Chain A
C-alpha cells in the first residue's frame, strides 16, 4: 500500500452516495453460493487516456481486468467489437441504452492520467446498466509500472461490489517449477501473479525444494530444501532474497506453515522413525512439540484465528485428518469417510478444510467442515494433491499429475484452479511443469 495512495475522501463520498440510492434487490448481483450459473455480462472498455502512455496503460488495464473477471467464471466480458458508445463519449456520461442494447449488465468506466510527478492517477467507476446506477469506484495513484497491480485492484473492487465477497486478484502464487526426467527431476522455487504474469524463479534448481507457503505478509516463504543434501525447513525473504534455516534440529524438518500472526512456523520433524508436529516461535526461537504419538503426524495448518490446528495422522491405522488446540491439546479425528485423507488446509474464512483424498486408486481434492461434516469432492484424477486457498476462501488451487509409462512418457504436472462449487476448473499456465502451489493473502 505504501506506493499506492487512496483518494479516500472521494471514495467515501461516493460510497455514501450509493448507500442512499434504491433497494439492494434491484441491483445487478451475483450469488456465488449457488452452483454453476450464467456468468454476468460486463462491458470493460479501454480506460481512457490522453497521451500515448496513458492510452497504453488504459488498454492494458482493461485487458487484465477482463481476464481476471473472466477467469473467475462469474463474469463474461462483452466483446469490445460490440460496443456502441465510444471511450471518449463514455467519459462524459454513460449512455445506458447503448450498453443495454448489447446486453451488458454492468459497465466499467476508467481513466488514466499522468500527475506530473512521474506517477499516474487511475480512476474507475462501476455502473449498473439496467438500473442506470453508480455502484462503486475509486481513484488510485501509482507508479506507471504498477499498472498490473492497479488492474487487479480494479477487478477486486468489481468482484467485491457485485458478489459481496472479497476479491482475490491482487495476489501471488508461489509454487515448485519442475523439469527433467522423473528419476532426475529438477525442482525450483518460483513465484508469479495469480494470473501467471510476473513469473520468476527464486532458486536455481541445484537443490531439491518442496512445499513452499506464504507468510501472512506475503513477503516471506517457508519451504523445504535439501540444501547440502539435508532436508530442512527454510524461510526465504522476498525483499532481501536471503534464505535462512528455521533452526538446527536433530532430524529432518518438513511440512512448514506460518501461523496466522506470522510469529510462528509450524512443521514436522522426523527423528528415529517417528514424525511429530512442532512449532517454532520466530521471535523467541523457542520450539515446542505439539504431538506425542508413534504414528506419522504431519501436514499441520492453523485455523485463521490461530486457536486450532488441523493435521493428518495415521495413529488410527490409516491417514486421517485431526483437529486439536494450537497447543496440542485434545486431538480429535474429523474424517470418517472411505479412503485416506491428507494435506488438510484450513480456509482463510474458517468455515472449511480442504484436503487430498485417496480412494479406489484415485486421488481427489475435497472440502469438509471443521467438524468433519459436509464432505464434498471437487476434483479427481490419477494424482491430484496439495490444495491451497485463495484468500477469499472461494477458489482453490492444486496440482494434477498424469501417469507415465515405464519410459517416463506421458509425465506431466500442472497447476489448476477450481471454484469452491467444483465448477470452473482451469489450468494455471506456467513456463515449466508446476506442483505444490501456495496462494498468497491479498497483497498489502
Chain B
C-alpha cells in the first residue's frame, strides 16, 4: 500500500513537471514567474523545447501600449534566432499579450501587433516565414495575477511557443 502511494506521488510529480513546459496558452501554474523554472536537477536535452525556454528564453516584454521591440527584447530575440537556426525542424506560434489596463478589443489588436513585431524580427534575421505563425490573446491570458505595474510589465509580452 505504501508502495502504491509512492508511485502515485511520482506520477503527480511527473505531470506537474510536464505542466511547466513552455506552452503559455494554458498556463495553469499561477506562480506568476516569467520564465518557467525547469531546473529540477535533471539535465535538459539540448535542442528540446525545455532547452529553448530555460537556456534561450521564450519571451520578450513590451512597454505600456507599445509594440516596438526594446533593446533587451532584440537581444533576447537574437538568441532565439540563433537557436532556431540550429534547430530548424521547429515551427512556432508567437503569442502576443497585453496587460489589463486597456479595453478588450484594443488589446486584441495590440497583442497582434506585438506578436507581429516578434515575427518580423525573427523573419528579418533569417527564420523562414513559413515556420512562424502568430496569435493574439489580448488581455485574456496574463501570467502574473496582480493588479500592479510589476505584474503588468510581465504580462505585456510576446511568447515564442515551439510546436
Spell out A's residues near B (CB within 8 Å): 181-185, 187, 208, 210-211, 224, 229-231, 251-252, 254-255, 268, 270, 272-275, 296, 298-299, 312, 314, 319, 342-343, 356, 358, 382-383, 385-386, 401, 403-408, 410-411, 436
A383 touches B100 (CB 8 A): yes
Given contacts A181-B30, A406-B145, contact A229 B106 (CB under 8 A): no
Majority-rule SS of B interface residues: loop
Q: Within B64-112, which residues are at the interface with A (CB < 8 Å)?
A: 67, 100-106, 108-110, 112
Q: Within B114-163, which residues are at the interface with A (CB < 8 Å)?
A: 116-117, 120, 135-137, 140-148, 150-151
Given contacts A185-B140, A229-B135, A252-B136, contact A273 B112 (CB under 8 A): yes
A183 touches B135 (CB 8 A): no
Q: Within the complex, what minimum Cβ distance (angstroms) separates A377 from chain B? A: 16
When C-beta atoms are compared, the residue in chain A nearest to B26 turns out to be A184
Given contacts A183-B142, A273-B117, A436-B104, contact A406 B32 (CB under 8 A): yes
Q: CA separation between A231 and B28, bound complex, in Å?
A: 21
Given contacts A210-B140, A270-B112, contact A299 B105 (CB under 8 A): yes
When C-beta atoms are compared, the residue in chain B nearest to A251 turns out to be B112
- With a CB–CB cut-off of 8 A, which chain B residues contact A386? 103-104
Could you list 7 further interchain pairs (A-B, Cβ under 8 angstroms) beyond the known A224-B108, A231-B135?
A: A183-B27, A183-B144, A270-B109, A270-B136, A358-B101, A405-B147, A406-B151
A211 touches B105 (CB 8 A): yes
Q: Within the complex, what minimum Cβ distance (angstroms) separates A234 from chain B? A: 15
- With a CB–CB cut-off of 8 A, which chain B residues contact A358? 101-103
Q: CA separation between A401 and B99, bound complex, in Å?
A: 14
Given contacts A255-B105, A268-B109, A408-B145, contact A184 B27 (CB under 8 A): yes
When C-beta atoms are compared, the residue in chain B nearest to A180 turns out to be B28
B106 partner, pick from A273, A299, A408, beta carbons under 8 A: A299
The answer, yes or no, to whether B113 is at the interface (CB within 8 Å) is: yes
Q: Within the complex, what minimum Cβ distance (angstroms) separates B94 from chain A? A: 11
User: Which 6 residue pairs are nearest across A and B when measured between Cβ atoms?
Assistant: A403-B147, A273-B116, A406-B146, A408-B145, A270-B112, A275-B109
Can you spell out 19 A-B residue pairs with CB atoms less than 8 angstroms apart?
Answer: A183-B145, A184-B28, A184-B30, A224-B108, A252-B108, A268-B109, A273-B112, A273-B113, A273-B116, A299-B103, A299-B105, A319-B106, A342-B102, A383-B100, A385-B103, A401-B100, A403-B147, A408-B146, A411-B145
Given contacts A299-B105, A319-B106, contact A252 B26 (CB under 8 A): no
Q: Within B8-50, which residues are at the interface with A (CB < 8 Å)?
A: 25-30, 32
B116 touches A272 (CB 8 A): yes
Given contacts A273-B112, A275-B112, contact A268 B105 (CB under 8 A): yes
Given contacts A268-B105, A356-B103, contact A183 B113 (CB under 8 A): no
A342 touches B106 (CB 8 A): yes
A406 touches B148 (CB 8 A): yes
Q: Within the complex, what minimum Cβ distance (angstroms) separates A333 from chain B? A: 16
When C-beta atoms are compared, the residue in chain B nearest to A385 turns out to be B103
When C-beta atoms are compared, the residue in chain A nearest to B103 turns out to be A342
When C-beta atoms are compared, the residue in chain A nearest to B31 turns out to be A183
Q: CA separation between A314 and B25, bound complex, in Å?
A: 28
Task: Name the residue among A273, A343, A404 with the largest chain B CB count within 10 angstroms.
Answer: A273
Q: Within the complex, what minimum Cβ distance (angstroms) separates B142 from chain A? A: 6
- With a CB–CB cut-off of 8 A, which chain A residues contact B30? 181, 183-184, 407-408
Q: CA separation between A314 and B101, bound complex, in Å?
A: 16
Q: Within the complex, what minimum Cβ distance (angstroms) separates B151 from chain A? A: 6
When C-beta atoms are compared, the residue in chain A nearest to B100 turns out to be A383
Q: Within the complex, what minimum Cβ distance (angstroms) separates A290 from chain B? A: 15
Q: Within the complex, what minimum Cβ distance (angstroms) separates B65 from chain A? A: 8
Q: CA separation between A211 and B148, bound complex, in Å?
A: 25
Q: CA separation between A185 and B28, bound complex, in Å?
A: 10
When C-beta atoms are compared, the residue in chain A nearest to B150 turns out to be A406
Q: Within the complex, what minimum Cβ distance (angstroms) separates A183 from chain B? A: 5
